[in-house]
Structure 1
Amino acid sequence: MDYDALSLSQKEAVAQLQALTDGGDAEVAIGVLDSVQWDVQRAANLMFEANPSAPLSISRNFETPPPRASSSTPAPAESFEVDDSEQAGLLGGRAPGRQFDRVTPTSNAVALFIIRPLRILIAIIAVPYTLLRAILRALRIPIPLPAVPPSFSITHMGLGISSAGLSHRPTPSKDPKVAAERWIQSLEEETGCVSFSRAQAGEGEASGIASGSSSVLNRRTSDDANTRFLPDFFIGSYEAFARACASDSAPKIGCVILVSEEHDDVATFKRTTLTDPELVRLMHDNDFLVWGGDIRDRDAWSAAQKLQATTYPFVAFIALQARRGSSSNSQSPVLTILSRHQGPSIPAATAPTSARTLITHLQEQLLPRVTPYLTRVRAQTLDKETARLVAERERERDRALRAEQDRAFEESARRDVERIERRRAEQRQAEEDARRQAEAEEQAQAQARREEEERAAWAETRMAWRRYGRRMLLPREPRPGESGRGKTVRVGVRMPDGRRAVRFFGEADSLTAVYAFVDTLFIPDDAAHAPARDPAEPPVGAAPGEQGLLHAMEQAGKKNGEWFGFRLAMAYPRKEIHWEPGKRVGDVEGLSGGQLLVELYEDPKRRSSSDSRRSSNGKTGNDSDEYETESD
């Protein structure tokens, strides 16, 4: 609850309670007053003594307490499961149960006739000061006033004058760690001892354990068998200490020590119980976590409220335990108050907080009952951690396997893509080759058609010249006794197909007549090519006679054998007879009476195309010794 939101009467009540409690924290005062309907007297009783109606057993709740439904409902403190049924034998033979009798004050008469009237008198005296202070605070006037007036502190054991009235004590720190370190340092200075772990290790500091800078560290004597040490105190807040005790990975037994410096039994408790070597070693050997503080500090006071401390010094042992009324091992354990010990530490044999009482309780009851369960919890935690690590390794292996499978799949997909691309490239290449081959074949066919057309046209032209030559260039044979054409010359001709022909010429006849005679032997013997139907005019308008033939040769670009398509040669000795315009038969030596061989002339172009056709048919140009004949 915010202080500024309080009414004037509520602010006055807070000021009165702070004056009675030596200037305590305003938030604590507001909470206490709110729980008792803003009754200053009841709030003072609650803070100086203890709430006798407070229950001893409440369920554990480590979370932040829920908000109060109304201002009349007390604020719930952090609570625990309480298990203190085993303490009856340690407290003077009390009957076993869940309740404890508070340690009674030294004298009821003193409390009745001195303490209560004195407390009322102090409250009456503080009223004017409280009212003035509340008014100035409400008006926000910064007038310096003493924080609290000297006050008396009433304890359960008697009447004592507060040290605040004699000397100024440090302002309580709001940092739990600083408060814990300061309290441990004051404890070391007061007892002249150091923590057990630091003493054994010989170091100046220990992680998580109290470290003091006092010169009393040098008072320790290692050779003294009676050297005393302090427990290894946990430095930090009470909440952090509770979380450390309830750690899933390493649960431990916790020991909470709360004192009030205004209590007469605290000094003896510090010098006897807290420095007892056997108790310190027992807690150290069993890995206890020890936390302590003075209830004047906020964190220690909050811990006292949560643990329901009613008398000081106060010692409580807490640890994880199974939930009450549950037989299932699967439920998570709960942090439980195992036992509570409060009151004087003397006499040593029977006092609730003496070292011997605590040692007997730990050895005979608490450790035998709690250690197996904590061991089982640690084992279960270890098994869970092992299972978690195994599961993590399984997941890592599965992830690695999936990654490997993904890589293999990607590699396979890449190879498939490459194979498909390669096949497509091969298909495109094959299609391109087929297209080129088709184009080449088409071109070859076109070329062949052109050549065939040219050959047909040339054959037609040649046939026309043959028939013209048979009629106009070949003279009749000389008659017997005819002398105008010179001496008669007999010419025998052997054709490539084996035919033989004989013709008589005059020596004055032209050599063209001999070639014309051989040329006529290539004319087919049918009605369409009958001699009577031979043309009298040369083809394509050429000039008549031998000059027209010469001109046609020049236009066609063919000479001799290229024009006629054959060569004439004497059989023996072989001598080729070339055609020459104007040459006479008598001018050819050895022609008379001889036999001429007709050799077909092969055009180089025609020979190359013929060779290519024979190569395509699996034959070479030398496979046949046959003569080639012209097709008509």
Structure 2
Amino acid sequence: MSTSDLDLDQLSPSERTALETYTSVTGQEITEAIPLLRRSQWNVQIAIAKFFDGEGPDPLEEARAALPQSPPPQVNRQTRNLMTEDITEQLSLAARTTDPAPRVDTQPEDQPTYRPPFIIALLFTPFNLFVPPLWDIVSFPTSTVQCHRKPGPPGARRNTTGRRSLGPKDTAARFIREFEEEHGSHPIPFLENGYNMAMEKAHRDLKFLMVILISPEHDDTNGWVRDTLLAPEVVEFINDPRNNLLVWGGNVRDSEAYQVANSLRITKFPFAAVIVHTPNVSSTAMSVVGRIAGLTAPAEFVNRLRTAISSNQEPLERIRSTRAEQQASRSLREQQDSAYERSLAIDRERTRQRREAEAAQQREEQEAADRQAAEEKRQRDLIQWKQWRFQSLRQEPGTDAKDAVRISVRLPSGERIMRRFASDAEIEELYAVVECYEELQAGETSAVSAPIGFDHQYEFRLVSPMPRAVYAVEDGGTIRDKIGRGGNLLVEPIVEDDEEEEEGTS
């Protein structure tokens, strides 16, 4: 079934919440999670238990399947084959060596703890001080009798007056704290989380989980902890990293440990069990592969642990090698993807640089074309201006004009302009004659108007060589006032002068 076949919009808000909770715990795909939740009536706890413990046959579906085909009535006669019964019993005993590891319903971590009002708590303070000790005195004979008979699983929930119910993580922390207060500092690495989380960690990390359950009411508990559990050889075996062993402990006075004890069908305390993932049962199954109940010598305790671990090590090694290969393939694929991404990044950078270079070249070419077009327009406007200015030049005075000014101007090409000017002619008139020299040589031209938007600038200066004097057009004034009745002038291009000044400065 594909994801498209599952319309998530058709799910109710409660079903969506159950789906999110289930997938966050198990990590299963949505296409497989929804059918399993539907078979579990959208009960998250039942679905999680089926995911980790394996989903057994559905009795209701089997009954429905058997309705159309009712078996014929049989004669009420029993036949027994002692040999077959003996073999069947042995097989059933062998099959019971790996029981499914149960899961328990625990108090949520975020469940608020009820605290009574201060006045009510103050009123009940005497009861809290005197009732628990009195209850211990009354229950002492009963517990003494229980110590001398074969312990079994409690038939009813024991009174836990004075012991507040906590979440799984807080309960584990309290167990570790009480264990240290009772037996001092110890090297047992108890997990600081709940039983279900310990199971998930063992399944995820492919490690063995040793569950230790103790009952303070049994006289053998302290001796077993001191002489067996904290024995040097047991501690060394537990802490050996080659054994891949996790340890979770619980006190049956707590709700979670009590449920675990009932689920494991414990018949004797103290108790230890070894739980491990059994891939030959299912891909998510956790099974109890070892049980150690009652007083046990340290050597026998270690031997049982070693037997349980060694007999179930090979399937885990296969899964570890498979995971290692998958991780190596994943790492290789990630390295290849990373190299491919780096190559793509380099190609993208080269493409970006090439595009930027092409864009810069296009801008330069456009700017050059714009400059060339502007220069061509300036040249056209300059020619038009010269023709227009030539038409507005004043007539040269005749030889009989006594107050005329005679000027000789030498051009950069070596040619010389000889012209007479009226005494009141402006210095700009002299500059215009030099600028329009070619038009003067050509003679008459057609009438033109001044170019629109053109600001003409003279690109030369008129200077007197001896003594040197510059007659700038922007200074204004008449030719007679500036130069006198006559003079010899030179034309100096302004651009060339600026370049010479820049060279001299550098």
TM-score between the two structures when normalised by the length of structure 2: 0.46
More helix by share: 2
